[in-house]
Amino acid sequence: MLDFEGPLKRIPKQTVLCVGDLMLDDFVYGEVARISPEAPAPVLQVTKSELMIGGAGNVARNVAGLGARCILVGVIGQDDAAGALTAKLDDEPAIESRLVVDPARPTTRKVRFVSEHHSTHLLRADWEVGQWIEGDTESKVIDAALAALLLATSVVLSDYAKGTLTPRVVRAVIDAAGDLGKPVIVDPKRRDFSVYKGATVITPNAQELAHATRSVLATEDDIICAATEVNRMLGTEAVVVTRSEAGMSLIPRSGEAVHVAAYPVKVRDVSGAGDTVAAVLAVMLAAGARFEPAMRAANAGAAVVVGKRGTAKLSASELRGRILPPAVLAAEEKVVFDWSILDERTAEWRRQGLRIGFTNGCFDILHPGHIKLLAGAHAACDRLIVGLNSDASVRRLKGHERPMQDVHARAEVLAAIEAVDLVVVFEQDTPLDLIRRVRPKVLAKGGDYRREEVVGREIVESDGGEVVLIELLPGFSTTRIVRKSRALQSG
């Protein structure tokens, strides 16, 4: 039996060193409705733009999102893109940035123009220098990486072929990590894999593996043969091959190859999926997972992020929801941890002219009172969103012995109720931030509240919405059930 739970519990104690090509990802969203009168080119009517940390920085974001600490070593220029990038990194408290500034190089920046409705990439514009760093910059990167390595439990080399991972940098990091017994995961981009000799795991996609081994990969047997050759040449312990819609393959140096299918998901954007794979492998191996569960977790993580727009990151809750039994099916359709997915759902419902309702609670032990509340709330709207307190939030509100059930179990039960259209997990003590995000037209609470006591009332009423108080069923409360259960156990 594969052990996922043990490594997942140990992730918060891990520190991952990420060294590689750092970049600023700029996504410009809009729709094309006409051709320019100046030239035969489509005109994108821009609706919004988003700046995101890309490249090695996206690996770091995913590591941090999974609950581990990340030390990020990379190179930036002395320009506006560098300022925007460092500002975004400053907003990531779990990432410690040790960046080397090279005024002679521009900060790598990619601008993607995307059709918002179809999630189709129309054009990409790049600002970059593909030449290797050298001299003082190269020495500073090596010094920063080796100093950080002493604090790390695993290493990711994120190679986008933008010049940071020179042969000298790669060799220094791999050799030092080997001396310390720390796993090194390489996400390669160059065709010559020999520079990565001595790494623990290398994660090429099928095309990169084919180019590196000068092979035609038509079958799974072809993939096994090519990856086995890589293991032999590089001394790697395993090759993990990402195969897009065909899934993922693990070819260890010793043992049988394992092929897993891709999860059936609606793909919105594949940007950064490889970053997520490297990050999940790094944290799982650092936390003591074996290669197969680490690879399966990486496959699950990639399925989550390709369902999001832009250079997306993965959360620990999303990964758990994919690879552990509770809430697997519910999470696919009804349970949301990432509020950007919530934004997409509510936007679609509003386009359809649907009236959105909201209620919230811990829902620790579901009872008939809860069912009446949810049914009454749904009767007042077309789509009901339920805000669900996270485990940490419940502990702060109810005490250290609560919740009785973890957030995945609570979410799964809620998602099975027909009256509930979406379950959104929130970390705060109150749902105020979530209500601001949803902007519901109906805010429902139990009849034990007075209207003026309902959190978020002012927001909803200022938008022309209403507060609905649902009459409670007498005699039902989670606290009462817990007390009764404990009394029976002690008696």
The catalytic residue positions are 275
For the record, the structure tokens of 405 come out as 């059930």
Give the contacts of 344 (CB within 8 A, at least 6 positions apart).
Answer: 309
The span from the CA of 157 to the CA of 452, in Å, is 54
Q: How far is CA 263 from CA 301, 302, 303, 333, 444, in A?
A: 10, 9, 6, 13, 36
The span from the CA of 443 to the CA of 212, in Å, is 57
Q: How many CB atoms lie within 10 A of CB 92?
A: 18
| Cα angle, residue 164 at apex, residues 162 and 166 outer, rounded to 5° | 105
- Is residue 416 within 8 A of residue 434, CB to CB? The reply is no
- For residue 52, give the DSSP letter: E
Start-to-end CA span in the chain (Å): 38
For the record, the structure tokens of 79 come out as 């320009």
Give the contacts of 155 (CB within 8 A, at least 6 positions apart).
Answer: 16, 17, 18, 19, 149, 173, 177, 182, 183, 184, 185, 282
